[in-house]
Amino acid sequence: MAIKFAADAESAATASEVRTVTILGSTGSIGCSTVDLLERNRELYQVEALVAGRNTVKLAEQARSLQPKMVVLSEEAGYQELKEALSGSGIEVAAGQDAVLEAAERPAEWVMASIVGAAGLEPTLRAIRRGVTVALANKECLVCAGALMMEEVKAHGATLLPVDSEHNAIFQVFETERRDAIERIILTASGGPFRQSTKADMEKATPEQAVAHPNWSMGAKISVDSASMMNKGLELIEAAYLFDMPEDKIEVVVHPQSIIHSMVGYSDGSVLAQLGSPDMRTPIGYSLAWPERMHTPAQRLDFASIAQLTFEKPDLDRFPALRLARECFTEGGSAPVILNAANEIAVQAFLDRKIGFLDIAHVVDACLEALPFHPVTSLEDVKQIDRTARVQATCFIDERFAIATAS
């Protein structure tokens, strides 16, 4: 099994009464939900470090509340403002990529890895190499460097806990001691805001429409990924590495209510499912308190009011990103790295109104066609492939944007 269970449960149970934690990506959606739970359980946790991108105001607010030993901005431009905001607090303030990596290496027992995109890979690896518990909310880490990352987890005796609601759900019902009886994993997808839209409507979709998820409150990038179903494609790759399952045993089903977060099917015909309201504080809380459970303010399910749960097959014609992700995982090597990098660039271009919504998948597909696939044997390989794919994607986008502007 890729994730360690029993041994970790024993070690976690004998850990110190107050657990030290670090949040990589504290001002994003996952980070803010984690902060909320820490504020509700102050007697159980001591914050070692908070790391954010550029949101100086929110980071200062979190620091004043949680009193971490260190706060870090990845972008150096906000350093002076943050230092002034926390003057006299005794909290160490730093900025820049080296400081982010330093924060990841500080002595916290539990690290939330929620820096969005490929930027989160190296800080997450730094935490893993300390052999601690890492709550993984950054699926791009495993998409870009799944084999490398799982090797590091094993080599350093780290514990990897999935935070994505789907993988956390699987984690809760995955019978490790009887894994030979597991026939399939079923990832559920909400279908996003365009589940019933025509391709003509999707072609005209605005960023505001794409980020308006019907069930979940998420950041802009992940919301667009959900709308295109690229998010589910990335989650499929993540699940393959986390649970050591072949791609053909991982199914995706559209479940608009977002009540069943994922399922595991067994050889006797049983299907075990984890249910809950669409609130990320449930999987975060499960990871934060594991191997115990903690109280969270998530709304409790009222089955009578839910009335029905429905399921659909994903439409690969309207949502080709899911097909591309499967193909990239099967290809292996650099293909998933290219997929992720091109998608990140294309999503940002869509949010900047340079390209249309359907162009996102077109840009990704074009990059996969244009760039040769290579083996990935090191973090440097990942970085180089990522850079090359971003340049290629930017070139495609600039060409499209120039044509659109000219017309």
pLDDT at 118: 80
pLDDT at 9: 45
Fold adopted by 332-407: Rna Polymerase Sigma Factor; Chain: A (1.10.1740)
pLDDT at 15: 46
Q: Which residues pair with 50 in a beta bridge?
A: 23, 71
Nearest alpha-carbon partner for 236 in 225, 362, 380: 225
Asked whether the beta carbons of 257 and 309 are under 8 A apart, the reply is: yes
Asked whether the beta carbons of 164 and 140 are under 8 A apart, the reply is: no
How far apart, in whole angstroms, are the C-alpha atoms of residue 251 and residue 185? 6
The amino acid sitting at 353 is: R
Residue 367: which residues within 8 A CB-CB, separation 6 or more? 338, 341, 342, 389, 392, 393, 396
Structure confidence by residue, pLDDT tens digits, 155-213: 999 999 999 999 999 999 999 999 999 999 999 999 999 999 999 999 999 999 999 87
Which residue, chain included where needed, has tokens 């026939």? 183
Is the predicted pLDDT of residue 45 greater than 70, yes or no?
Answer: yes
pLDDT at 405: 60
What are the domain boundaries of the chain? 6-163, 165-274+301-315, 332-407
pLDDT at 229: 95
Task: Return the HEC string of the chain.
Answer: CCCCCHHHHHHHHCCCCCEEEEEECCCCHHHHHHHHHHHHCHHHEEEEEEEECCCHHHHHHHHHHHCCCEEEECCHHHHHHHHHHCCCCCCEEEECHHHHHHHHHCCCCEEEECCCCHHHHHHHHHHHCCCCEEEECCHHHHHHHHHHHHHHHHHHCCEEEECCHHHHHHHHHCCHHHHHHEEEEEEEECCCCCCCCCHHHHHCCCHHHHCCCCCCCCCHHHHHHHHHCHHHHHHHHHHHHHCCCCHHHEEEEECCCCCEEEEEEECCCCEEEEECCCCCHHHHHHHHHCCCCCCCCCCCCCHHHHCCCCCECCCCCCCCHHHHHHHHHHHCCCHHHHHHHHHHHHHHHHHCCCCCCCHHHHHHHHHHHHCCCCCCCCHHHHHHHHHHHHHHHHHHHHHHHHHHHHC
Asked whether the beta carbons of 340 and 234 are under 8 A apart, the reply is: yes
For the entire predicted model, the pTM comes to 0.89
Q: Which residues of 329-353 are buried (b: 16+ CB within 10 A; e: fewer)?
A: beeebbbbbbbbbbbbbbbbbbbee
* Tokens at 381, concatenated: 């390989």
Domains 6-163 and 332-407 share a fold: no
pLDDT at 116: 83
* Tokens at 174, concatenated: 């995955």
pLDDT at 399: 85
Is the preceding peptide bond at 291 cis, omega within 30 degrees of 0?
A: yes
How far apart, in whole angstroms, are the C-alpha atoms of residue 84 and residue 16? 34
Q: What is 6-163's CATH number? A: 3.40.50.720
Structure confidence by residue, pLDDT tens digits, 325-356: 999 999 999 999 999 999 999 999 999 999 99
Phi first, then psi, for residue 384 (nearest 5°) are: -65, -45
Structure confidence by residue, pLDDT tens digits, 79-88: 999 999 999 9
How far apart, in whole angstroms, are the C-alpha atoms of residue 321 and residue 9? 37
How far apart, in whole angstroms, are the C-alpha atoms of residue 115 and residue 124? 9
pLDDT class for 143, splitting at 50, 70, 90? very high
